[in-house]
Every structure is written in C-alpha cells, then in structure tokens.
Structure 1
Amino acid sequence: ATYNILEAMRVNGVKNIAFASSSVVYGEDAPLPTPESHGPCMPISLYGASKQAGEGLISSWVGTFGLQAWIFRFANIIGARGTHGVIFDFIHKLKKDPSRLEVLGNGLQEKSYMEVGDCVDGILHVMEQANEPLNLYNLGSHDTASVRRIAEIVVDVTGCHDAVIEYTGGDRGWAGDIPRARLGIEKMLKSGFDVTMNSDEAIRHTAACLLSEIGLE
C-alpha cells in the first residue's frame, strides 16, 4: 500500500507525505527511553516489520525523487471512537461478565500512552516546524502505564468494582508483543510541542469515552 501511494505521488507530482509509523520498529532490545537515533531497528512482529519497510520506501523516494516526508513513530495511541486495543477489549469483557476481567499476560507489560487529540496536534505542529527533506520524530508521553494499571482504571470507570482481575501469565500478551516500551520525546519537546495528558489521564479519558460509546447493557 505504501509503495502504491508513493508511486502515485511520483506520477502525479505530489511532493509531501506524513507517515504513521510505530514504536514497535525498535524491537524489544532498545534502550528506554528510545531515541530516534537508535539502531539497528529489529522489529519482532509482522506489523513492526511492515512499518519499518514503509519507512525504508519513503526514505528511498525522498532520496531518489525529491519528496519531503515526515515519519512519526507513535507510542500507543488511544482515545474516543477506538475499535480495538486493550481498553476496548476490557470494556467488552466487563460488558459480557462484570464479575471477572481476564488480562493477557502477567499485567506487568508497561508502555507509553498518548491521547489521539494530542497525537494529531503533535503531527500538525511538527510538520509546521520541521523542514528537512526527511523528518523523523517520536510522538509519545512522558511516562508509562502497566496493563495492570489499565485494568484497575477500566474497572473504576465502568463501576465494576467487584470484578476479579485474573492474569493468564507470561511476560507478554501475545507473540510479537513488546513487554516494555517508552519513547524518547526530547526531539518532540524541542520542537515546542508537549502533550496535555499523561498516560494515566489518557487511559481514563479513553475508558470514559469508550464506555459511553459501547455501554455495559
């Protein structure tokens, strides 16, 4: 898909592209917090590999055909109108059985969470401020939250206070999952942009939004 977009841009004379990449391109052995300069990037999932491949294609089009590109490596982006993800799944599980919440893994998986409105504002800000042929930025928050903490927040927001939180065990929720991730955001901050919500606040806001959309009945 990325190749087709880039080729269509070349044929039609479109010169600018912003690409939604991901923190998962760094893999699981990267230092925390992870700066944009870290390499080599060794993703452990097919999703991560596809994002890294997209970045490579864009970089080659910039160098060969004179495009200008902004590549954004996102933390976990959450917010209203979500259709998947851990908060979405937890609400659906509690809707099905308000007495029990199953959590994949041991609950200690820990990552940065960024509210989608902050993410969009960050993209637009960086595109206005950064003017290199190829611009690479991490977008994320200052802190992290564990899956255990997310479960506690969702239980609180839904009012299912009697729900027993149960863990399936293991250090990750699924094959290709990265147990711990936190992006270095110094470059983002230096551009003049900062988030309005930390991870906990973004999780609570998202849980409230999704609860109003999904409901428990």
Structure 2
Amino acid sequence: MSYVITGGAGYIGSHLVDALTKLYNDIVVIDDFSNGNYVNKKAKYLKIDLRDSSISSLKIPAGSILYHLAANPDVRTSMINSYEHFSRDVIATFNVLEMARRNDVSLLIFASSSTVYGETGKIPTPENTELKPISNYGVFKLLGEHLLEYYSRVYGIKGVSIRLANVTGGRVSHGVIRDFVEKLRKNPYKLEILGNGKQRKSYIYITDVIDAFLTLEKKFNGLYDVFNVGNEDWITVDEIAKIVEEEMNLTPVHEYVDKGEGRGWVGDVRFMLLDISKIKQLGWKPNYSSAQAVRLAVRDLIYGYKL
C-alpha cells in the first residue's frame, strides 16, 4: 500500500505518519515545513510548497491513498492574513486535486473542519446542516470540500471530507490549551481568557482522530461523502482553564477579553458539538471525552509528548 500525505510534518499529519509507518513501508510526505518540522525516518519527505502549480505534475505511485492535511490551521489569523490562508487552504487544495487526478489515486481524504457550519442552532450538528461559516478559515475549508466533491463527481476520484472538531494532544501547535499553558508559564498569577469563558466546544484527542482516519479509509465504500469527527460531549473555556490550572497547580486571576457577544476573536464559533452518529455506524467512536482529551493534552504540553 502506498500513501502520500500532504502536511505530514505538521501536527495531525505527523501523528498519521507515525501510525502508517508502523503498518506500511511506502509513505511519502509532501510539506514545505512552514507549520511543522517533524520527520519520521521511516517515511520519505519532499520539501515542496503546495501553492506552486508545478505540484500538479508531480509523479506519485498510481493507486496511492492520498491524505490532504496541509493548511494554515489558525482560525484567528485567517481573519487577518486572508490571502495567505486562501493560498494555503484553497490554491494548495486545487493543486493537490490536480496531482491526484493525473496520478489516478485510489482515495483522497481531506481534512476539513467543523468551522464550515458556522453558528448553527442545531446541536449536535449533523452533516446535512446548512453551512454558514463565519470565519475565512471556515469558508476556505468549505471551498476545499466543494472542489473535492466536484473532482469526485466529474473525474471519478474517490473522496472523503472529514469535518474535525477541535483536535488536541501530542505536538499540538496552537489553540486555547497551548495558549493557556504558555501564558501561565510566563505569568502564573494571571490568565487572560479570550471571550467570556462560556464558549462551549467539543474536543477530541489526537489518537482518536487517527483511528477515525483509518476507519474511514478501510470502511468507506462510496464515491464521495462527508463525515463529522468529534466527541459526544463538550466543554467550556472556563472548564478548560480549570483543568490547565489543576495540572499546573496554579490559581491565577482570570482576565477576560471579549470581542463581542462572548467571542474570543472575530470569527470565533461560540458553540460547537458535532453529531457523529454517521461515522459511528462504521464502527468508530472516541475513546476519550472532551475533558479527558483536554487533560491529556495539557500533560503532553507540560511533560512532553511521548509515543
């Protein structure tokens, strides 16, 4: 079995590479090392910027399974550095799809995001909910889904878009948990919290995400579909802060920075819980709750992630 993983030096991608190299020998990673620099010696690495149209002519083994995970993962900065995110999240995806088309890949799995839903009144949120993203990141991920669906329908590429909840744990590169740990390391007496602390979202531990990827790879039999991958519960930002403080044995004063309506930043989705019944029908479910995922992630950051 041959695999090609874009973004394999980054956060989620590096964990997928680790999992796949334990099972297979032919693993190719394509990354420009801009959002991660992890290297697994059992995989082959190509340092390539996916925004360059020449990627579409790259030769990869015919029949490969292609995971497209490369992106700028920071939702907040997508509202500031819009073109940079567009180029990494849309142009890069188009180039990868052209590469997939020309090399006859057997399956393309695209890492999308729960942000494509925006703020919906339907909680838990199923895959057939109307999509109204409120961040550039969400819009660009949705464009990626549309591109993959089009290439599947027109060119016959078998594809899956995975709408991820907040992924955490292990080499996590960004997000509220890492933010809290780093802030408290600098000042253990005060913790700045973006928003009003009441935002409530679903978190999933990185190993559960990799298990979901491999489940879909093996059990999806259609031409194209979308699957939510998240947890069955959720947790508030204040509760996350409490877990971080417990693990660091600190009792700081909280200082809230509200960007309006309780949001931590422009484009912040305040409430997110995905309906995961569709992927559960394939035999997958998370091993850790949102709170357990957060606690494990905090320990990974404090003590260093170990394989």
Q: Number of paired residues?
A: 212
**Residues 145-181 of structure 1 deviation map (CA, whole Å, 9 limit, x = unaligned):** 0000000000011111x31122223411000010001
Deviations 1:109-138 (A, max 9, x none): 000000010001011112211110002110
1:119-158 correspondence to structure 2 within 5 Å: 119-158=209-248
SS of 1:149's equivalent in the other structure is helix
Unaligned runs of at least 5 residues, structure 1: none
TM-score scaled by structure 2? 0.67
Instruction: Look up the match of 1:10.
Output: 101
- Large movers: runs of 4+ above 4 Å: none
Q: Specify which of 248, 251, 275 is matched with residue 184 of structure 1.
A: 275
3-state DSSP of counterpart to 2:304: helix
Q: Secondary structure at the match of 1:173?
A: coil
SS in 2 for 1:192: coil
Query: Structure 1 residue 30: deviation in Å?
Result: 4.2
Alignment-mate amino acid for residue 203 of structure 1: V
2-structure distance, mates of 1:102, 1:213: 24
SS in 2 for 1:62: helix
2:256 aligned partner? 167
Alpha-carbon RMSD: 1.2
Identical amino acids, percent of aligned pairs: 40
Structure 1: how far apart are the matches of 2:240 and 2:273?
16
TM-score (norm 1): 0.95
Q: Which has the higher contact order (CA 8 A, sep 6+)?
A: 1
Letter aligned with residue 254 of structure 2:
I
Where 2:185 maps in the other structure, the secondary structure is helix
C-alpha separation in 2, matches of 1:32 and 1:47: 21
Residue of 38, 46, 60 corresponding to 2:129: 38
Distance 1:43 1:26 in 2: 5
Give the residue type in structure 1 aligned to 2:253.
V
Q: Give the Cα–Cα distance (whole angstroms) in 2 for the partners of residues 205 and 76 of structure 1.
A: 14
Q: CA deviation at 1:213?
A: 3.3
Instruction: Give the match for residue 49 of structure 1.
Output: 139
Q: Deviations over 1:82-112 (max 9, x none)?
A: 1111010101100000011110110000000
Aligned 8 A contact 1:144 1:199 in 2: yes
For the residue of structure 2 that corresponds to 1:117, the secondary structure is helix
